[in-house]
């Protein structure tokens, strides 16, 4: 997740002020409503994952369900290692070791819009409105609050609290229609260090994977290439899938969703099913493509109407 900007403090403050002022002039002309200060903070947040090590305990609230997890994030010599351990429930653990620092994921790229604004590209500011205010204390840290409102009906809004010193994401609320909080994440305590915490007994361990698209498992038969014909503006593919790969994943820098296609060996009655947990939706649609029964599933942080439109657009590639 996040970052520590160290160095010659006065010089950095001066350069940051000049940069924000330059971006502000450009954004006012080409991207009305783009808050240069907010975008600058999001840029810092996206970079912090490669620059700061930390340990902490976080809570995740989804309706009446509360999960408590321990997070350890260590930045070493050119690599990042992470561990996420449930302190409630089954005590599951997810680990990612020696992930290259130089590996920039698409979501992080989409949040780095300072240079884009200066050359006339709005980036994520084309799809969200931003505002910045002083935040509350979270885990004992002073925070900056960024309010993010969608410009269309195809995505959710967010309220984020970032560490004023490191831009680490300390708290985040996902906001749905009617300003309803769908999900809330926050640090209960936090310390910055380079140590991965240990000594916690776990019952389930899952190794996080980062497969190359061409080695990923497929659920569609070889030669059955398919595509997603529509995604909301601003969403970009996170991988380069083979035509018959059973999954497509997209992000706009804040939200992520994946589309899965499964060919069925029997007829299926057309219909749909929806399951939501917090801000995460699982939308399933039984349908026929060119007379062949398939099951389309959209999983991610989007409203149901978005998932439905995405599923409707799936077809065989011609």
Q: H or E segment at 48?
A: helix 36-48
Q: Using the Cα atoms of residue 80, residue 259, residue 303 and residue 130 in order, give the sign of their dihedral.
A: positive
Q: Nearest-5° angle of CA 249, CA 251, CA 257?
A: 50
Distance CA 183, CA 158 (A): 10
pLDDT by residue (tens digit) across 30-56? 576 678 888 889 889 988 888 899 999
Distance CA 144, CA 147 (A): 10
Of 114, 113, 117, 83, the closest CA to residue 98 belongs to 83
113: left (phi over 0), alpha (psi -120 to 50) or beta: alpha
pLDDT at site 9: 31
Q: How many residues does the chain have?
A: 318
Distance CA 150, CA 160 (A): 14
pLDDT at site 162: 97
pLDDT at site 29: 41
Domains and CATH numbers, the chain: 9-207 (2.50.20.10), 213-316 (3.30.200.100)
pLDDT at site 271: 85
pLDDT at site 114: 56
61: its two tokens = 């609230």
Distance CA 48, CA 164 (A): 12
pLDDT at site 210: 57
pLDDT at site 308: 97
Distance CA 47, CA 52 (A): 9
pLDDT at site 30: 54
pLDDT by 10s per residue, the chain, length 318: 333 322 333 323 222 322 333 233 333 345 766 788 888 898 899 888 888 999 999 999 998 899 999 999 999 888 889 999 999 988 899 998 888 877 777 777 777 765 555 545 677 888 999 999 999 999 999 999 999 999 999 999 999 999 999 999 999 999 999 999 999 999 999 999 855 555 555 566 666 555 554 444 444 554 578 999 999 999 999 876 555 578 999 999 999 999 999 999 888 788 899 999 999 999 999 998 888 899 999 999 999 999 999 999 999 986
pLDDT at site 17: 27
300: its two tokens = 């991610």
pLDDT at site 5: 29
pLDDT at site 39: 86
106: left (phi over 0), alpha (psi -120 to 50) or beta: alpha
Q: Do 43 and 112 contact (CB within 8 A), yes or no?
A: yes
pTM of the model: 0.80
Q: H or E segment at 95?
A: strand 93-100
Q: H or E segment at 142?
A: none
Pairing of strands 247-251, 236-237: antiparallel
Pairing of strands 280-289, 205-207: unpaired
Of 190, 191, 247, the closest CA to residue 215 belongs to 247
- In sequence order, the β-bridge partners of residue 218 are none
pLDDT at site 193: 81
pLDDT at site 250: 95
């Amino acid at each position: 997740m996040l970052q520590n900007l160290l160095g010659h403090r006065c010089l950095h403050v001066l350069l940051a002020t000049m940069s924000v002022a330059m971006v502000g002039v450009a954004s006012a002309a080409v991207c009305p409503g783009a808050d240069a200060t907010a975008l600058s903070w999001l840029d810092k947040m996206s970079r912090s994952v490669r620059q700061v090590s930390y340990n902490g305990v976080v809570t995740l609230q989804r309706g009446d369900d509360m999960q408590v997890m321990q997070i350890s994030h260590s930045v070493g010599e050119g690599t990042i290692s992470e561990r996420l351990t449930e302190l409630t429930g089954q005590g599951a653990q997810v680990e990612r070791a020696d992930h290259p620092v130089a590996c920039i994921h698409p979501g992080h790229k989409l949040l780095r819009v300072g240079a884009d604004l200066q050359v006339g590209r709005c980036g994520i500011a084309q799809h969200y409105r931003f505002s910045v205010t002083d935040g509350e204390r979270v885990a004992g840290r002073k925070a900056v609050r960024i309010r993010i409102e969608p410009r269309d009906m195809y995505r959710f809004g967010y309220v984020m609290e970032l560490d004023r010193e490191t831009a680490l994401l300390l708290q985040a609320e996902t906001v749905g229609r009617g300003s309803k909080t769908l999900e809330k994440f926050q640090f209960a305590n936090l310390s910055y260090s380079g140590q991965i915490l240990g000594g916690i007994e776990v019952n389930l361990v899952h190794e996080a994977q980062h497969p190359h698209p061409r080695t990923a498992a497929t659920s569609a038969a070889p030669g059955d290439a398919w595509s997603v014909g529509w995604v909301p503006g601003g969403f970009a593919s996170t991988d380069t899938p083979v035509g018959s790969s059973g999954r497509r994943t997209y992000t706009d820098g804040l939200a992520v969703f994946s589309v899965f296609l499964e060919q069925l060996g029997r007829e299926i009655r057309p219909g749909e099913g929806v399951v939501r947990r917090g801000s995460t939706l699982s939308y399933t649609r039984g349908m026929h493509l060119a007379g062949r029964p398939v099951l389309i599933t959209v999983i991610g942080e989007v409203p149901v109407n978005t998932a439905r439109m995405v599923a409707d657009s799936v077809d065989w590639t011609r």
